[in-house]
Chain A
Amino acid sequence: MLAVRDTRDREAFACLFDHYAPRLKGFAIRGGASAAEAEDIVQDVMIKVWHRAHQFDPEQAQVSGWIYRIARNQQIDRFRKERRPEPEMLLAEEDTAPDAGQVVALEQEAAGLREALSRLKPDQREMVERAYLGELSHSEIQAETGLPLGTIKSRIRLALDKLRHELKDMRPS
């Protein structure tokens, strides 16, 4: 992803495409799209990944989480004909080398998360998938106790420490 962002590397983009396009298509089909619609969605998402690569910040997100966000936005734009409102963007600090420790820590968290998801019982797992695929309303999600909230708490702390550090100088008092 960083090669795509920094040097517009087409081969690297081809690797990203080959990895994510079939998964995105599976996602879209499960979300109710036909095979042809799903290909359109994959195309729209992947072209956004290419054009928005400069917004990707490995200190704040993993590639998969970032692509998940773009994919959900795409599906909302398409079916609601309305843009999802997004929070103000944080301005990344210019000229600072990425904090390797933070990037590694996020990767370890992501591995832990996948591990935790694979340990869920099948029915729990299905509810989690339906929640994150946009098939449940907030009240249905609330009624379900199967969300892996325990497993994301440390991920939240990690991201928060970083944000607090970055926001320290930006916040109006």
Chain B
Amino acid sequence: MTEIAHHIPDEILVAYAAGTLPQAHAVVVAAHISLCAECRAALAAHEAVGGALLEVEKEEAVSEDLRNRLFDMLDAPAPVEPAPPRRNGIYPGPVAALLGPDGQAPWKSLGFGVKQAILRDTSEDSLRLLYIPAGRAMPEHGHNGLEMTLVLQGSFSDEEGRFGRGDVEIGHDALEHTPVADPGPDCICLAATDARLRFKSLVPRLLQPFFRI
């Protein structure tokens, strides 16, 4: 396994720790951390900051009633919690949890061998898997909001560098890029957006509502 070179920036880790990231982006962060010891350590450090703030928080007296109620509850059996998601092939646990019961991604063809599988699509955010055959380019696009792309298989390169398994590319408003899948295994990525991608050429733009990209 090659070393992960592109990590989650601190402000996004803090937003994840505090719970302010959209759900789609939080899945990308959780998936990356599943693959990256460095960001797992960084998240723990940010949670230590949160813990330090909790330690010095102004105390608000709690009612005796709450205390009694809670101690009465201790003997009740623990509620059954969903089992933590397990890795499935190339898919880290948090992604595997979103696949169908058969463990397969719901791939749909976009033409020229490019495929996508939409895992989540709400008015605020969307999450999809993209399958790009080696050597093929994604249409050139810019961003309206925050886009996060995590490579799960193969690699791609663009104006920002080369991205392999575990690497995350962060796209902000200003970034316009044209990712091309590198030779080798076909590239599979997980992409979170909080706004629809803007394609620059006319035809993909016409297709955009149709393909929900």
Contacts and interface: CB of A to CB of B under 8 A. Distances in A.
A85 B30 contact: yes
A33 to B, nearest CB: 11
B71 interface: yes
Interface in B24-68: 26-27, 29-31, 33-34, 37-38, 40-63, 66-67
| Chain B: interface size category | 35 or more
Contacts, number: 215
B49 A88 contact: no
Contact of B48 (A23, A137, A155): A155
Contacts of A22: 59-62
B73 interface: yes
Chain A: interface residue count, which band?
Answer: 35 or more
Contacts of B84: 86, 88-89
A67 B53 CA distance: 11
Contact of B53 (A21, A84, A132): A132
B44 A149 contact: no
Given A46-B70, A84-B19, A88-B92, A25 B52 contact: no
Given A10-B71, A68-B50, A38 B60 contact: yes
A147 B10 contact: yes
A98 interface: no
In the complex, the 10 A-B pairs of residues with the closest C-beta atoms, listed nearest first? A64-B51, A65-B51, A22-B59, A68-B50, A159-B41, A138-B15, A134-B18, A87-B33, A160-B41, A51-B78
Given A118-B56, A147-B11, A159-B44, 6 more contacts: A38-B60, A61-B44, A85-B94, A87-B30, A87-B34, A88-B87
